[in-house]
Amino acid sequence: MSKVTKRRVVITGVGAVTPLATGVEESWQKLCQGKSGVARITRFDPSGFKTQIAAELKDFHPEDFLDKKKIRRTDPFIHYAIAAARMALDDARLNINENNASRVGIVVGSCGGGMTTYEKNLMALRQEGPNSVSPFFTTGFIANMAAGEISIVFGAKGPSKCIITACATGTHSIGDAFRLIQYGEADAMIAGGSDAYILPISIAGLDKMRAISRRNDEPEKASRPFDKNRDGFVLGEGAGVVILEEMESAIRRGAKIYAEIVGYGSNIDGFHITEPDGENQARCIKLALNDADILPDELDYVNAHGTSTILNDLAETKAIKAALREHSKKVPVSSNKSMVGHLLAAAGAVEAIFTVLTIRDGIIPPTINYDTPDPECDLDYVPNLARKTEVNVALSNSFGFGGVNATLVFKKFFDKPKENSN
């Protein structure tokens, strides 16, 4: 059997809606400055809740990206996804037309789908009866409608799916889109994740799990990955979308190339729904490095899942040590969630974007609020201040409820693979 030649895949466009800003570059600048997007919840009155803080969007206006009719008929998670996709496509200068539409696909996932739509219609049903339920309830609620609406708005007609793997959704979406291009099923993919999950039921449920921080008096200091005094993650919202393209096609059309995606690992713990075991997270990292044909000591940066929960941060530290061995003591590791909170399905996609910008600019964003080292979390977490350094190869981790794990490896782009000096 002949060996299949895998095509090279590059990132040519990025778009994001984050608690720091609407748009990638402003979000990136604030991230590098160590700004926090966490504050007291304004979406509803949180006074009766033990957790009263979140990382909400602050300057997002859907009318800047969608027409009024679509805004009325769709859920906020779809608004965020379309906005991020529009920004990414504009950034890539990728024109989808009748000549290429069937070769442009979409993999955009969501954890909760249209939670706002679900809550609104459930309350209407209980208070006013069945005639009060919107005819757009189902299409506003189901998670795959972010991808569906992106297809309708922009005309992509290639492979499409909706990944739902909790906090690993965005990373799995990009990884699966990468595979579709690698093996020739598409030439370009719109990939990422979106969630609009800051609702009373979500805050109440996550608090009952003791998963989220109760540091209500200091919102900006609440998310503190790897710090000894961490007490849970901070729920966020938003969307991240990247445009992936087959390398030669991107070069032919003169596309700007941010980085090359070279490796993808995916597995599941089979251990506990919320407590990671570290061992299989390490295996996921190794799978991604093997796929990329990258040795541990070639790695310049790890963008950690880094949720700010006691068990997850400890398990990820152990996983990085096990996967990278001696190099784990040298490689910088930082968590974007210290500033943007946990964006659920959007987390991995937004963090992938920040990872390729780290490669582009040679700046590693800090882990803010790192005040008291945890003796069990003893890696270089780039505490509190960004670090200027050359980054050629970087890795991004995402680990989700249910034990799902995903890792991506990115590399500075060269037209031709660099010759091995040995």
Q: Which residues lie closer than 8 Å to 85 by C-beta, 6 or more apart?
A: 15, 108, 150, 153, 154, 190, 192, 241
- DSSP classification of residue 94: -
Q: Assign residue 186 the CATH number of its domain.
A: 3.40.47.10
Active site residue 167: yes
Q: Which residues lie closer than 8 Å to 364 by C-beta, 6 or more apart?
A: 301, 332, 334, 358, 382, 386, 387, 389, 391
The residue count of the chain comes to 422
End residue of a domain, out of 252, 282, 298 = 252
Same domain, 130 and 236: yes
> Of the listed 32, 111, 162, 167, which one is catalytic?
167
* In-domain check, residue 421: no
Q: Which domain holds residue 197?
A: 9-252
pLDDT tens profile 300-335: 999 999 999 999 999 999 999 999 999 999 999 999
Whether the CB-CB separation of 159 and 180 falls below 8 Å is answered with yes
Whether the CB-CB separation of 40 and 53 falls below 8 Å is answered with yes
| 354 pLDDT more than 90 | yes
End residue of a domain, out of 252, 283, 303 = 252
pLDDT of residue 274: 52
Same domain, 358 and 217: no
Same domain, 231 and 276: no
End residue of a domain, out of 231, 252, 273 = 252
Same domain, 350 and 220: no
pLDDT of residue 421: 40
Q: Which residues lie closer than 8 Å to 267 by C-beta, 6 or more apart?
A: 280, 283, 284, 287, 405
pLDDT tens profile 137-177: 998 889 999 999 999 999 999 999 999 999 999 999 999 99
pLDDT tens profile 200-254: 999 999 999 999 999 999 999 999 999 999 999 999 999 999 999 999 999 999 9
Same domain, 346 and 383: yes
